[in-house]
Structure formats: structure tokens, C-alpha cells
Amino acid sequence: MSKSKARVIRALQDAGIETEIVELKEAKTAQMAADGVGCEVDQIAKSIIFRGEESGEAILFLTAGGKQVDAAKASALAGEALGKADATLIRAQTGFAIGGVAPVGHVNPIRAFLDPRLLDFDVIWAAAGTPHHVFALKSTALQPLTGAQVSDFTA
């Protein structure tokens, strides 16, 4: 088992969340992940990470699968201009590789924002630390689990 996936499992267990990790054949997009688990695309919680232009820190936007982050809204929430986060920053901040960034189990704390669209569903799915693994959880558990601020930042 990968260290990343093990960190996610440990974080979920520590939070008292029991779930099964599902391996997908292919999940390069939110739609592929949704098709793989049999849910709506917006039930996939994408972990979109930007780099704060002034702070240099990674900032996480947990976004419904069919939505896109609106750069102006996201920058306003973050309080600084946002740029592209490279693989090195993402790995250093979260401990995950691009494509497998989970909402939990990060190696360092991260400031996070949560798309309210995800709360429209009873169950949502998120990456489990690898590009091929996902887990389900009650949508109402995501905010307390991540400490993310529920905010409108999508286009």
C-alpha cells in the first residue's frame, strides 16, 4: 500500500469515519471517477490547488467535479492573487502527487475552501491519495474534517 493512501486511511480512521477505498481503472477526470463509482460528476470532490502569489503557500479549493474555479472569486477569498501550483509545491504541502490529492491526510496544514455544491449530496467521493483510489463520505463530514471555509468560488 502506498504511503499516501495509508495516510488518508489513517486520517479517516482518526476522525471516526469508516469507508472503503475503491480502486478505479482510470480516473484522469472527475467524469471518469464518477463513471467508475456510479455517481453524478458533481459528487466528485476535486482538490484544486493554487499558489498564493504573495505568500507562496498552497491553497486548496475542494470543488464539485463538474465545476471550475473562478480565478477572481478564488483570489478574493484567498486575499491574494493566485497562480499555478507546481508539482513540487503540491507534494511539499500535501504529501500527494498531482492527480491523487486527497482532502485529508496532508503532511502540512493547508488553507482550504469548500464548494457549497458538494453539500447538495448525501454522499460524495474524493481522491484517496493516489490517482487510482477514491473514498466515499457523507458530504456534511467534509467541512469539519478539512476545516475548509464553505464559499462560492466557482464559475
Q: Could you tell me the three cell numbers for 42?
A: 458533481
| Cα–Cα distance for residue pair 146/155, rounded to 1 Å | 23
pLDDT confidence of residue 27: 81
pLDDT, tens digit, 9 for 90 and up, residues 60-77:
999 999 999 999 999 999
State the chain's mean pLDDT as an integer: 96
CA dihedral 73, 74, 78, 80 (to 10 degrees): -80
Distance from C-alpha of 51 to C-alpha of 86, rounded to nearest angstrom: 8
User: Closest Cα to residue 73, out of 155, 149, 147?
Assistant: 155
What is the fold of 3-150? YbaK protein (3.90.960)
Domain parsing of the chain, residue ranges: 3-150
Q: What is the pLDDT of residue 1?
A: 77
| Global pTM exceeds 0.85 | yes
